[in-house]
Chains A and B, each alone.
Chain A
Amino acid sequence: MIKHQYDVVIIGAGGAGLRAALEIPEGFSCAVLSKVFPTRSHTGAAQGGIGAALGNEEEDSWEWHMFDTVKGSDYLGDQEATEIMAKDAIRAIIELEHMGMPFSRTPEGKIAQRRFGGHTRPEKPDDPDSKRVAVRRSCYSADRTGHVMLHTLYENCIKQKVHFFSEFFVTDLIMSGKSCAGVVAMDVATSEVHVFHAKAVMLATGGYGRVFRITSNAHVGTGDGFSFVYNNGLPLQDMEFVQFHPTGLWKLGILISEAARGEGGILLNNKGERFMERYAPTVKDLAPRDMVSRAIITEIREGRGFKGSDGTFYVHLDVSHLPKEVLNDKLPEITGFARTYLGVEPTREPIPVQPTAHYAMGGIPTTVDAEVTRDKKNTKVPGLYAAGEAACVSVHGANRLGTNSLLDLIVFGRRGGKAIAKFIKGAEFALLPEDAADRTLERIDHLMNSKGKEKVGPLRTELQERMMEKVGVFRNKKDLTEMTSEIKSLRERYREVSIDDKGKIFNTDLVEAIELGNLIDTAEPIIYGALVREESRGAHSREDFPKRDDKKWLKHTLVYKTDGKPKVDYKPVSITRFQPKERKY
């Protein structure tokens, strides 16, 4: 076992982790641990853009951005945090540009912006109550916005000589009393266990898409950070809110950006109808993701979908009427995906799409400065921070708007970095417990020596299929209750997992086995959150409780792990400018 001491340890080298690392001042030591080489992080898969009311293409304001985000969140987003994000967005985008991020440009040379789901402005700018129409708010770089943002941040980290530990797989948090004192990690190249003693730890570990069978998320999206927090007695917030992106490539779940619809693409059912006109008469195909996903599943359930060769159903996304230049210059990646993976020629044929698990609105509860909190009173956990998809600030509430995830990363990644910079100046290292690495060592030892009959691959597939069937776009009490016993049984069977690889060098068999444990840990609060919330709000849609119920449920869920059934608690929502209203588009 190797011991290190750093003032700051950041877990994850996606947008939030890298942005935070740039804030750690000279004279303090900072290590960024990532289970993959930094530019392999999932931030790089984001396509369509990053939201900010720059007003480069038409009049816009941060208040309108804030309103859209609050409305998009189905009023569950904390408005104090949302206001910070919408205001800071403008500065944050300009900062990225100054860091060297390449953007598509307007004829005047400004950052180009396009339309995106749920982003609107009042039709008459002087009359805030006038009808809302789609606005150009998404700053983009063709359809590779996340890729160039991730590379730009990594490049700036190289410039600033940030210290990376690549292919280091974090396995646990080290808690010292009520404070965080570091993390335990395994060097994947050697299987050596390392203890990182730190004054401050930031979890920027991303999402959990791989809990579901059909997902746009990378294989590394296994909810590791959620598992660390949950297993250390800390709560997870609003985990029932899982975003299914409406347009995943059929069968594969690969993301086909909303930018396709922002540029004029439309969704069609098997009768050739533009069905979104019925569900969202004003913004149609540019309705928020939760609504479009529900519309697609409803069309399919009512017999208006297409049946695929794998037995699953899809609808059509048609971009064939768009000018060739738009497809080639603004949507080159996604048209390429359709060609490569389905052999579909988007200039002539519609693209088969179906909803795909995409984003965790919930996560590790934090303050607006990325400080992790442990209860409904927002009591802080000294030394522990979280940002990005892993965190729940909450700005996305019950449903995130497209372009707000990249924005969340850089706004709250930076704020977290700044808060850490302030904290480490005054803080001492918390006492490092003697047994800090014991749980990890036992876990590794168990998996390496287990002779159990369960295998990682089939067990994971079972989890993913059950979650897709019972905790998907539509949910009900019966399915969710069944799922609570399923997860219990999956957890028991997980103890019987054995692996083939008994070696020390790049033992990815071992890594995947640990990741499967993290997936199971993460699924549990998703299921319990969904079961207790007896209403439909944003992405959480209960067939048995089809209405939003503000009287009972305008509150955040906190789920704690216990030896038996998880404990559920609630936390109020911050409402400042916008009172909840019916959500119509």
Chain B
Amino acid sequence: MKVTLRIQRYNPERDSEPYYQEFIVEAGDEKERILDLLHQVKWKFDGTLTFRRSCAHGVCGSDGIRINGRNRLACSTLLRDVNYRKPIVIEPLPSIPIIKDLIVDMSDFYRKYEAVKPYMVNNSPPPEHERYQSNDDAEKLFESAKCILCACCTTSCPSSWSDDNYIGPAALLKAYRFVFDTRDEAADERLDAVDTPDGIWRCHTIFNCVEACPKEINLTWHISQLKKRLTEREM
């Protein structure tokens, strides 16, 4: 079947502003990945179409884009997940500088991730064996540890849209990942890092991040646990 992709294009060496270009591609069935169709455009019609991708099955987080107005991964969105009878609108992630076509500048996103000290801090001498942790405590971390840093959440967040300095849901999720790790000793430093005017309190529980997350992480719940921890600390 024929499917139309309406792709936002922008080449800074040529274009003064983004525009849309339509490509008609051939899809075998409705289980084709949007990524496969983008590859079809690049490999058959127009080698200048530019996007990031690597694993092609939703574990590396390279190909976060906007498909019909929703932030998703090109490799884990299939035709049947969208209305393909009309042109499918493909755009870069919103509210983040575009470099070229679907490639955005992720440096601010990564800087915010680094701001929450995204690594375990434990200065007590380690035992010879592993640090014991109950399976329940371990599993409290698993959902947050699934994060692939694709930026679908942060760029879907209205608080991020209105405040460039807002740390955003992805970084807050990473803070949770370590604050709630029973092996970690730097919870306070991390809580300090997010307890700022541009920090956690900019989250107004809008749930866009939850809807956007391709790994089905309930970000808002994790952020609420951090807020609770902060409130407890105040008291």
Partners in one complex: yes
- Taking Cβ atoms with an 8 Å cutoff, the residues of A that contact B are 36-37, 39-42, 44-45, 93-94, 97-100, 102-112, 141-142, 144, 147-148, 151-152, 155-156, 158-159, 189, 218-220, 252, 254, 309-310, 329, 333, 337, 340-343, 455-458, 499-501, 503-509
Structural contact, B47 and A506, CB atoms closer than 8 A: no
In the complex, A104→B59 CA distance in Å?
A: 19
B130 partner residues in chain A, CB cutoff 8 A:
93-94, 97-98, 103, 110-111
Structural contact, B181 and A102, CB atoms closer than 8 A: yes
Structural contact, B47 and A499, CB atoms closer than 8 A: yes
Q: Decide yes or no whether B17 CB sits under 8 A from chain A.
A: no
For residue B118, which residue of chain A has the nearest CB? A155
Most buried by A among B13, B57, B121: B57
B43 partner residues in chain A, CB cutoff 8 A:
455-458
Answer whether A340 and B78 are a contact pair too, CB < 8 Å, given A40-B54, A455-B43, A506-B99: yes
Give B135-177 interface residues, CB cut-off 8 Å to A.
Answer: 135, 137-139, 141-142, 145-146, 148-149
Structural contact, A220 and B119, CB atoms closer than 8 A: no
A455 partner residues in chain B, CB cutoff 8 A:
43, 47
Q: Among B13, B51, B76, B132, point to the contact of A503 (Cβ < 8 A).
A: B13
Count B-side interface residues using an 8 Å CB cutoff: 65
Q: How far is the CB of B144 from chain A (nearest CB, A)?
A: 9
Structural contact, B13 and A142, CB atoms closer than 8 A: no
Structural contact, B62 and A36, CB atoms closer than 8 A: yes
A98 partner residues in chain B, CB cutoff 8 A:
122, 126, 130-131
Structural contact, B60 and A108, CB atoms closer than 8 A: no
B146 partner residues in chain A, CB cutoff 8 A:
144, 147
Q: Decide yes or no whether B108 CB sits under 8 A from chain A.
A: no
In the complex, A309→B31 CA distance in Å?
A: 12
In the complex, A504→B11 CA distance in Å?
A: 10
Structural contact, B103 and A39, CB atoms closer than 8 A: no
Q: How far is the CB of A319 from chain B (nearest CB, A)?
A: 18
Q: Decide yes or no whether B85 CB sits under 8 A from chain A.
A: no
Q: Among A144, A219, A333, A509, point to the contact of B145 (Cβ < 8 A).
A: A144
Answer whether A102 and B78 are a contact pair too, CB < 8 Å, given A94-B130, A341-B57: no
Structural contact, A42 and B145, CB atoms closer than 8 A: no
Structural contact, A102 and B138, CB atoms closer than 8 A: yes
In the A-B complex, the 6 residue pairs with the smallest Cβ-Cβ separation, listed nearest first, are A457-B43, A100-B120, A500-B47, A109-B132, A155-B119, A509-B47
Most buried by B among A98, A310, A329: A98
Structural contact, B129 and A503, CB atoms closer than 8 A: no
Structural contact, B120 and A506, CB atoms closer than 8 A: no
Q: How far is the CB of A464 from chain B (nearest CB, A)?
A: 12
Structural contact, B48 and A509, CB atoms closer than 8 A: yes
In the complex, A189→B141 CA distance in Å?
A: 35
Most buried by A among B53, B99, B121: B53
In the complex, A310→B134 CA distance in Å?
A: 47
A99 partner residues in chain B, CB cutoff 8 A:
120
B134 partner residues in chain A, CB cutoff 8 A:
105, 109
Structural contact, A340 and B76, CB atoms closer than 8 A: yes
A340 partner residues in chain B, CB cutoff 8 A:
58, 76, 78
Answer whether A457 and B42 are a contact pair too, CB < 8 Å, given A98-B126, A219-B53, A503-B13: yes
For residue B130, which residue of chain A has the nearest CB? A97
In the complex, A144→B117 CA distance in Å?
A: 22
Most buried by A among B47, B51, B133: B47
B117 partner residues in chain A, CB cutoff 8 A:
159
Give B104-123 interface residues, CB cut-off 8 Å to A.
Answer: 106, 110, 114, 117-122
For residue B51, which residue of chain A has the nearest CB? A508
Structural contact, A105 and B60, CB atoms closer than 8 A: no
Structural contact, A142 and B48, CB atoms closer than 8 A: no
Structural contact, B47 and A102, CB atoms closer than 8 A: no
In the complex, A44→B235 CA distance in Å?
A: 40
Q: How far is the CB of A384 from chain B (nearest CB, A)?
A: 26
Structural contact, A106 and B119, CB atoms closer than 8 A: no
Structural contact, A100 and B184, CB atoms closer than 8 A: yes
In the complex, A36→B56 CA distance in Å?
A: 14
Answer whether A100 and B119 are a contact pair too, CB < 8 Å, given A109-B132, A109-B134, A505-B99: yes
Q: Decide yes or no whether B50 CB sits under 8 A from chain A.
A: yes
Structural contact, A218 and B56, CB atoms closer than 8 A: yes
A94 partner residues in chain B, CB cutoff 8 A:
128-130
B131 partner residues in chain A, CB cutoff 8 A:
97-98
Structural contact, B13 and A504, CB atoms closer than 8 A: yes
Answer whether A158 and B126 are a contact pair too, CB < 8 Å, given A100-B181, A104-B138, A505-B11: no
B14 partner residues in chain A, CB cutoff 8 A:
503
Per-position contact with A for B2-46: 1 when CB-CB < 8 Å, else 0? 000000000111100000000000001101010000010011101
Q: How far is the CB of B158 from chain A (nearest CB, A)?
A: 26
Answer whether A457 and B138 are a contact pair too, CB < 8 Å, given A110-B130, A148-B145: no
Structural contact, B119 and A42, CB atoms closer than 8 A: no
Answer whether A456 and B61 are a contact pair too, CB < 8 Å, given A102-B141, A104-B138: no
Q: How far is the CB of A8 from chain B (nearest CB, A)?
A: 21
In the complex, A41→B101 CA distance in Å?
A: 23
Q: How far is the CB of A372 from chain B (nearest CB, A)?
A: 26
Structural contact, A108 and B132, CB atoms closer than 8 A: yes
Q: Decide yes or no whether B190 CB sits under 8 A from chain A.
A: no
Structural contact, B47 and A501, CB atoms closer than 8 A: yes
Q: How far is the CB of A513 from chain B (nearest CB, A)?
A: 9
In the complex, A94→B13 CA distance in Å?
A: 50
A504 partner residues in chain B, CB cutoff 8 A:
13
- 23 cross-chain CB contacts under 8 A: A36-B54, A37-B149, A40-B52, A44-B59, A100-B183, A104-B135, A105-B133, A110-B129, A152-B120, A218-B60, A219-B53, A219-B54, A329-B139, A341-B31, A341-B78, A343-B31, A455-B43, A456-B47, A457-B44, A500-B46, A505-B13, A506-B103, A509-B48
Answer whether A103 and B100 are a contact pair too, CB < 8 Å, given A40-B61, A155-B119: no
Answer whether A158 and B119 are a contact pair too, CB < 8 Å, given A110-B129, A501-B47: yes
In the complex, A252→B229 CA distance in Å?
A: 44
Structural contact, B142 and A40, CB atoms closer than 8 A: no
Q: Decide yes or no whether B55 CB sits under 8 A from chain A.
A: yes
For residue B62, which residue of chain A has the nearest CB? A40
In the complex, A585→B145 CA distance in Å?
A: 37
Q: How far is the CB of A94 from chain B (nearest CB, A)?
A: 5
Structural contact, A342 and B31, CB atoms closer than 8 A: yes
Q: How far is the CB of A180 from chain B (nearest CB, A)?
A: 27
